[in-house]
Structure 1
């Protein structure tokens, strides 16, 4: 997003290859390939596995015409088999934080000790002491809420980091170690991280940075065996003008991080891409978004994206095998 905001470009959508067929908000739907969600535009997928259920949190893209972004609320979906899905409606809106003016940007819900912590990027209300993107935290006793502001102010404000622009504090991802220590990673252009205190709303040590090749935004932390993985949206304009998903691995949550190259290329008709990774019932999945879904009279575009999903597979060496983005998706039996 650095290039887009820096030059204040407006992206014009082209006709999508898929057309939305809308179930009502109270109905379930059956997975029909990619895009996964077809009745509305969604972005920034964040999966969470709780027992036998996978919850998926997304931003609701509502840009119209040539509007760039208008992400108005966070929505929740769930499944027990990756085939049958239930839409649960909005779980929160930006202005549910009293210090926020707008923008339901990328989020992640993280379970710890039976509570569900919702970390998200929002636009700080300038009249309340800050400006630009900040990270807020909400909490609930249920994965579907109700979520309430856990801090009453931003956990991270634009002034807390020395980034190149006012939207470098976005896209939070959380990881909790076996010893109970939790870590927050986030950033655009710069990748930041810091350990959280037990209260989950303050830091136990100063904010630090990680250098990764072509890091742009959208970090996502997960672990397989003894290896930590950090997937992220990368941008190398010498290869592609659009973001791709790259990753790094480490023996510890504190690194050192070894760049491992790309997981998948750029998304159809979308400058941005955002990874969300989960292991569910023995299988690994990569969620991301594309820009080729038509809903009603609105074609896919940079501000009208659509969540998709593919299987994530690993080689014998533990490295991630390249993922091909397909319309067929995960090919359920």
Structure 2
């Protein structure tokens, strides 16, 4: 760019973890639908004191769930934050939205989506939608599972759901955790499994205790691999060195158990992911989800590496994705958490309209809801905001093909409260580095003669490239000026 210095990102240009840097996201859960992975996360939102200093994360303010998706596991589209609980949430009867789980099912010929989450440690809620990005609404107006549910009153932490959609059309929900007393640390007895109704918003029969879950702490997981059912969880922090040696796993580690039946009994299997402190030097609770995508297995989990880079260290978590090791017995096995993350699964197509909130990295920007529906429900269509000189977004592995791109089209919008005559800026189109010489400098002006007004106050600006682009590159949009928002982009040959 010109003499203006670019803003540094919170992760290197070559790292893919954490998958999102524009906000925090904890307790990730993956849903695969029509060639995309949707990840739902607890929205860790910084708690502030009276003088604006970030305080330790107490989790008490959390009432939203973040949603992102990807078809290559590197470039992620931001779908916003589901207004799940609290005064303005769909489940307004609940105070919190922790540790989401998601599933989809075809009911009466239509695909329906279900988002389960914990009302702190006191029950499980369910929301429904017609799209994996929402809008989500509350179909029952109360908890799906509460302390009044049989066998659940004694569950220390009635939270952390996971859902299995079995091959025979049946579905199951797994939940629970916590240590009722010190003498029960080795076998807390607080894990549960229940069969879900055909409607996915009810349970059939009483939840069943999952027995012999050694040193259970929290974080239910469930997968069916090669005909076997793998229940997974995070071990608690009461393990002694002697217990760790005996059991073959450590405190705060993700452990699997295996069964021939979705409701058990389960037997101990393998540890799969050590505590984040083992990999990154910053420990904390460990939370995971294992998923299959494109014939390979992956594990998503959270760490504190984003807050470390931000200089906060107050317990705010961010989501990462890495390969899950499957051993010769077709069992999940010990895997590694990395900053590099996974390799991009497919190249990115620049010749279709791409939302600007799809990115692999960014600096100095934010995202916000776009359109009435997203504003009302929190998730859905989004737009890049808070643009300033030196801010940028990155899209990895963009394949321009052998025949060069000749034209770039962008859709922009005047920022709320900004007068049209005060909107002046540029979008610099760069390859391979945000500091490289721009292919084109797209001038953004609300009175631009190149602009064509469209719905929702968007303006399309089309520019012929000074330097044509071909081959595979990382693409950067680098911003100068302010007063505008960035909605979408598309190249043409």
TM-score range, shorter chain: 0.7 to 0.9
Match of 2:143 among 154, 157, 164: 154
Residues 1:299 and 1:149: Cα distance change in structure 2 (over 3 Å): same
In structure 1, the partner of 2:167 is 178
Match of 1:316 among 312, 324, 328: 328
Give the CA deviation at 1:20. 2.9
Q: What are the superposed Cα offsets for residues 216-274 of structure 1, whole Å, 9 maximum, x if unpaired?
A: 11111111121111121112531489521111111121222111131111113242111
Match of 1:277 among 265, 273, 290: 290
In structure 2, the partner of 1:105 is 98
Matched, 1:77 2:68: yes
Q: What are the superposed Cα offsets for residues 29-71 of structure 1, whole Å, 9 maximum, x if unpaired?
A: x983222222222100011100211111111111332242242
Residues 1:201 and 1:332: Cα distance change in structure 2 (over 3 Å): closer
Task: Check conservation: 1:138, 1:147, Cα contact below 8 A.
Answer: yes
Task: Check conservation: 1:37, 1:306, Cα contact below 8 A.
Answer: yes
In structure 2, the partner of 1:11 is none
Residues 1:296 and 1:329: Cα distance change in structure 2 (over 3 Å): closer
Match of 1:120 among 117, 120, 134: 117
Task: Check conservation: 2:193, 2:263, Cα contact below 8 A.
Answer: no
2:145 aligned counterpart, secondary structure: coil
Task: Check conservation: 2:171, 2:196, Cα contact below 8 A.
Answer: yes
In structure 2, the partner of 1:244 is 253
Give the CA deviation at 1:286. 0.2
Q: Distance in 2 between matches of 1:299 and 1:197?
A: 44
Q: Distance in 1 between matches of 2:294 and 2:14?
A: 17
Residues 1:298 and 1:140: Cα distance change in structure 2 (over 3 Å): farther
1:299 aligned counterpart, secondary structure: coil
Give the CA deviation at 1:178. 2.3
TM-score by length of 1: 0.82
Task: Check conservation: 2:271, 2:334, Cα contact below 8 A.
Answer: yes
Match of 1:307 among 315, 319, 323: 319
Q: What are the superposed Cα offsets for residues 104-128 of structure 1, whole Å, 9 maximum, x if unpaired?
A: 20011100111001111014xxxxx
- Pairing 1:37-56 to 2, within 5 Å after superposition: 37-56=20-39
Provide the aligned C-alpha RMSD in A. Answer: 2.3
In structure 2, the partner of 1:234 is 235
Q: Distance in 1 between matches of 2:200 and 2:63?
A: 25
- Pairing 1:194-273 to 2, within 5 Å after superposition: 194-211=194-211, 212-235=213-236, 236-239=238-241, 243-268=252-277, 269-273=282-286
Q: Distance in 2 between matches of 1:143 and 1:259?
A: 33
Match of 2:130 among 129, 138, 141: 141
Count of paired positions: 297
In structure 2, the partner of 1:290 is 303
Residues 1:266 and 1:296: Cα distance change in structure 2 (over 3 Å): closer
Q: Distance in 1 between matches of 2:195 and 2:71?
A: 32
Rg larger in structure: 2
TM-score by length of 2: 0.57
Matched, 1:60 2:43: yes
Q: Distance in 2 between matches of 1:213 and 1:277?
A: 20
Give the CA deviation at 1:98. 4.5
Q: Distance in 1 between matches of 2:25 and 2:200?
A: 27
1:255 aligned counterpart, secondary structure: coil
Between 112-121 and 261-270, report the one with greater CA deviation: 261-270
Task: Check conservation: 1:176, 1:182, Cα contact below 8 A.
Answer: yes
1:294 aligned counterpart, secondary structure: helix
Task: Check conservation: 1:293, 1:300, Cα contact below 8 A.
Answer: no
Between 177-186 and 32-41, report the one with greater CA deviation: 32-41
Structure of greater relative contact order (alpha carbons < 8 Å, 6+ residues apart): 1
Give the CA deviation at 1:99. 4.4
Q: Distance in 2 between matches of 1:318 and 1:220?
A: 17
Q: Distance in 1 between matches of 2:127 and 2:209?
A: 25
Task: Check conservation: 2:234, 2:255, Cα contact below 8 A.
Answer: yes
Between 283-292 and 34-43, report the one with greater CA deviation: 34-43
In structure 1, the partner of 2:10 is 20
Q: Distance in 2 between matches of 1:210 and 1:282?
A: 29
